[in-house]
Structure 1
């Protein structure tokens, strides 16, 4: 009987240690996401999260962050006008997001990333792809809102779209800034489900509000 209890103690202790190691690895990597500035840094971060996901197998967040790091690399390429890089980067992000979605279906956070992936692909040629990728992006965001209406990242995505869309197509910098303010207000009260769950976006809302045209 003593041996049984001893083995049980070792099992429980090992499980707790494994969870702690996973959380520690994730926490360290998540903390660096906003610090990266180059494509190579984002590529390395994507690979780091993939390795964690491949090791854990049942955790969706590593693959979520692998997709997010790829998307950030894509947004960097978009700002630099490197449209030819957007499709392959979006495809890479989609690969990891599909894995996250398999492990966590009906997640608003995953759907926000899905919206961002479609938006990256749309930006290759907005005029040609608005009715395809643009509509898919809007659909993903609508689905996310039905799941978690108070999620500030959903409002942040709406703010970006409204701010950057020309007025003749329904956009408005004024309305965009109003949505950035709404997102910031939501960030003040919104609670992530865990310390590892997505909590990004507040700095972007603050940036736009601090740099009003």
Structure 2
């Protein structure tokens, strides 16, 4: 579970001559993110969220930036700071969208980040949360490809830890591939990341 999400090439932002302030702001935030200006992007997403007042997506992406940045980071203070901020952003997102599978998936990622950073400290407390969050997301949206793919990766990691065969979950990856190809949303900036990580996760399925 080294880097669970690489999203910077996933988003295709469609521009029109009549873009709203929201669309322009979101486009700029994704542009900053693509330029590796992570904190600037997160701060802009936060400002957009506060201006929108009823939109979960800006806070969701602000959280995602901080979560992604912790993978591979060894500085304890930075990890704790970023994951605390990410949880705050997700809490705000939840106030605008309850029982949202995408938010639950991102919260599972957040708890995974704690486990990856320090398994001895957080493994016992956060592993159960990860499993619970993925299960809830899959109940809400059984065909959500991110829930299926990253839950499978989590289960593969757990199988390896306990000396079991991770290939038991390879069929779930195939299911996720199908749903990536058949599910979409008309909502602007709706999450669509994850498909580019299939090959990396499928490495667990090789002999």
Q: Which TM-score tier does this pair reach, normalised by the shorter chain?
A: 0.7 to 0.9
2:124 aligned partner: 131
Give the distance between the partners of 1:188 and 1:130, measured in 2 at CA.
Answer: 34
Report the equivalent of 1:103. Answer: 96
Q: What is the rounded CA distance, in whole Å, between the counterparts of 2:170 and 2:28 in structure 1?
A: 32
Is 1:21 matched with 2:21? yes
Q: Which residue of 2 aligns with 1:190?
A: 183
Match of 2:157 in 1: 164
Greater Rg by CA: 1
**Which residue pairs with 1:11 in the alignment?**
none
Distance 1:36 1:204 in 2: 20
Backbone CA RMSD of aligned residues: 2.7
Determine whether 1:152 maps to 2:145: yes
Q: Is the 8 A contact 2:149 2:173 kept in 1?
A: yes
Cα distance between partner residues in 2 of 1:195 and 1:189? 18
Q: Distance in 1 between matches of 2:26 and 2:86?
A: 18
Aligned equivalents of 1:55 and 1:27: distance in 2?
15
Contact 1:93 / 1:117 at 8 angstroms: preserved in 2? yes
8 Å contact 1:27–1:196 — kept in the other structure?
A: no
Are residues 28 and 207 of structure 1, via their aligned partners in 2, closer, same or farther at CA, if it must alter by over 3 Å?
farther
Residue of 61, 66, 70 corresponding to 1:65:
61
TM-score (norm: length of structure 2): 0.78
* Bigger relative contact order (CA 8 A; separation at least 6): 2
Q: Please, which runs of 5 or more residues in structure 1 have no aligned partner?
A: 1-16
Higher helix proportion (structure 1 or 2): 1
* Structure 2 portions without partners, runs of 5+: 1-16
